Structure 1
Amino acid sequence: MTHGNKLDYGTFEATKARSAALEQDLKINPQKYRVLTGDRPTGALHIGHLFGSLHNRVRLQNLGVPIYIVIADYQVLTDRDMFDQISQNVHQLTLDYLAAGLDPKSGHTFIFPHSHVPELNQLLLPFLTLVTQAELDRNPTVKEEIQAAGQKRINAGMYIYPVHQAADILSVKGNIVPVGKDQLPHLELSRVIARRFNERFAGNTPVFPEPHPLLSEAPVILGLDGSQKMSKSRNNAIMLSATEDETAALIKRAKTDADRTITYDQTNRPELANLLLLCSLCTGRAPEAIADEIGDGGSSKLKGYLTESLNEYLRPLRERRRELAKDPEIVKNVLRDGISAARAVAQDTLSEVRRVMNMEI
């Protein structure tokens, strides 16, 4: 909903209720939906990605929901000076996807970089005419990303990031987008663009669905240094591709506190709670039960428990990744097939857009 030029993101409770209803219908009518999700190729993925998003994508795939996974390579250029690594990072990202269980052979999963789908990027121009500068100025997610990147000069690519995201979603007519609470403003702008396009150009036959958020119940994994976000650039992450020895060394350096008795207290002992949460995710046991078992064994015993549990949990994934990495053609074929599928849908979308905008020849 909009009030004048001001975006109204609605109440979070209402969004949660809509998301819960969608979850139930996804299990009954997966064919009604099309999911768009993705990542920027800034490097290989870590365990925060695995527990935070990859498992959920595999779950949706296995329900039979069509899921388009965009590797947002153009968006790397908005805040990173690493164009020379993009191709390698796309390859590594795809290996992580496949090793985690995303399977294009299922017929439901399509992986593609958006630089290879020109029809997607052609939607940017009409979409940019549907939003105001004031609306882009107010987007809180962009402001946070700008601050996180430490940029003093903001390029236009970063500024219109939410519009490019709308093109990602709407090019394949995605009607479901898995998001966390912090991404809701981006998605609301995509909904506004879809609505305004339909109202302005499409009359009684809407071209675009208004994509709905599917809120993730995934746990938030803190960095091993106790910071709010696990990140490769902050050197506080355990990569999916790390060896077992590298994993052990990283966990050994993880931040804890001076109290020897281990308890699960997310408010007062967040670093310990984070390690216990990871133990729980790997073993299926309650973090409180693990804390009680370790007791006054101290952080050293906890870290040993986590090292063993995490390495055991990741062992099958890492083995699959090593096998997949032996043949570079596997990743290339996955991406070629994903590009072909995404382009086919986006070409149909763009043809429809041209028709309703009176631009056919």
Structure 2
Amino acid sequence: MTTTPEQHSYLRAATRSAELESLIAAAPGQFRVLTGDRPTGPLHLGHYFGTLANRVRLQDFGVGVMLLVADYQVIADRDAVEGIPGAVLDLLADYLAAGIDPRRTTVFAHSAVPALNQLMLPFLSLVSVAELHRNPTVKAEAATTGERAMSGLLLTYPVHQAADILFCGANLVPVGRDQLPHLELTRTIARRFNQRYAADAPLFPEPEAVLSAAPLLLGVDGQKMSKSRGNAITLRDDDDRTAALIRSARTDGERTITYEPDRRPEVANLLLIAALCSDRTPEQLATEVGSGGAALLKSTVTEAVNERLRPLRRRRVELAADPGYLLDLLAAGNAVARDLADATLNEVRQRMHMCYQSVG
């Protein structure tokens, strides 16, 4: 069967990602990762198994991790900013409770690193408007804005992300399959800058994708688990809230529980959540629940989730009670990021012959 260019690109990236995992295990110190989140609401189980656990894994391997609180990107598609400070603190508490160690991972915010954002200017000169409009991520984000006109920040989001990645010399970016075109634009910007301004001694690496193997988790309504849909089991929920959410989860009319993702997606999703939380397989859990039906399935999932998240939630309560500590660690990470960004911007200016000195 003939593969499409997109499928071919994904297969190539998947092969390379597997190779990179071997290289990371052998020499983690050779790699730096850039990843992050917009502070738009509490993180949930999908984030935990999709990104957070992998960040902690890379950190524990010894990879240099730069973790971005993308506060400027909040205003790419919305007007309200009043809730951002609280959302930033919530995000920091989620990170640390999940195992992020600020002694080994640099956590920083967009708005606190001016030189990072200034890199957008030369980077914008390296891409065309047509390239930005073609970017699948921009198209997808624009589709969610409804009747709202696309902002310039949303249109240039891929270039801003390129600045995020390149300012710190990141050579690895954990992404999902749908984000590969996004990362490819970053690689294009790095390559074009090197060709135009640094042909003799390339300045920027072309970052590579580490593809996430994490499964897609559905929310309790059977749709993709999402902050905005209100269908997510969040990391900060307590046992009772978690139990109530899982009791409300959609299943189907069949009594016997089986793991059939294509035919019974809602039931399979609950089994998958319980399996991830208990380090077992969905098939094993389906066999155990068997004819116990939806009630036993939901109680099994509730117990697995609450047991898995209990230490995290206990730690999160402690962290949330000390906002000064959270702000101090963010300030320390911001200082590290500013030093990196200042050095990179200075090097960019030199390569572009834009370092001026007074004469006489």
TM-score normalised over the length of structure 1: 0.95
Match of 1:178 in 2: 174
Q: Once superposed, what is the RMSD of the aligned Cα atoms?
A: 1.3
Label 1:47 to 1:8 Cα distance change in 2 as closer, same or farther (>3 A): closer
Q: In the alignment, which of 90, 104, 107 is matched to residue 111 of structure 1?
A: 107
Q: Is the 8 A contact 1:9 1:184 kept in 2?
A: no
> In the aligned structure 2, how far is the partner of 1:176 from the partner of 1:109?
15
Alignment of 1:185-200 (within 5 A): 185-200=181-196
Cα displacement string for residues 269-325 of structure 1 (whole angstroms, at most 9, x for unaligned residues): 111111000010111111111111111111111000111111011000000111112
Q: Secondary structure at the match of 1:149?
A: coil
Aligned to 1:4: none
Out of 125, 131, 135, the residue aligned to residue 131 of structure 2 is 135
Which consecutive unaligned segments of at least 5 residues does structure 2 have? none
The 1:115/1:127 distance shift into structure 2, 3 A limit, reads: same
Q: Is the CA contact (8 Å cut-off) linking 2:89 and 2:320 kept in structure 1?
A: no
C-alpha separation in 2, matches of 1:213 and 1:254: 34
Shift of 1:9: 9.4
Q: Does 1:331 align with 2:326?
A: yes
Matched residue, 2:19: 21
**Structure 1 match to 2:73:** 75
* 3-state SS, counterpart of residue 240 of structure 1: coil
SS in 1 for 2:221: coil
Distance change >3 Å, CA 240–CA 8, structure 1 → 2: closer
Displacement of 1:222 in angstroms is 1.1
- The corresponding residue for 2:264 is 269
- Structure 1: distance between partners of 2:259 and 2:45: 20
Query: Residue deviations 1:109-138, cap 9 Å, x none?
Result: 000111100000000000000001111111
Aligned partners of 2:185 and 2:227: how far apart in 1?
29
Q: How does 1:39-54 map to 2 (within 5 A)?
A: 39-54=37-52
Partner of 1:241 in structure 2?
Answer: 236
SS at the partner of 1:222? coil
Runs of 4 or more, structure 1, over 3 Å off, are: 7-10
Q: Which amino acid aligns with 2:241?
A: E
Aligned twin of 1:89: 87
**How many residues matched?**
352
Equivalent-residue separation in structure 2 for 1:192 and 1:86 (angstroms): 32
* Map 1:1-361 → 2, pairs under 5 A: 11-105=9-103, 108-227=104-223, 229-361=224-356
- Preserved contact between residue 9 and residue 185 of structure 1 (Cα < 8 Å): no
Aligned mates of 2:78, 2:350 — CA distance in 1: 37
CA distance in 2, matches of 1:238, 1:150: 26
- Identity among equivalent pairs (%): 55
After TM superposition, give the deviation of residue 197 of structure 1 in Å. 0.4
| Matched letter for residue 167 of structure 1 | A
Deviation of the 1:87 alpha carbon: 1.1
Measured after TM superposition, the shift of residue 148 of structure 1 is 2.3
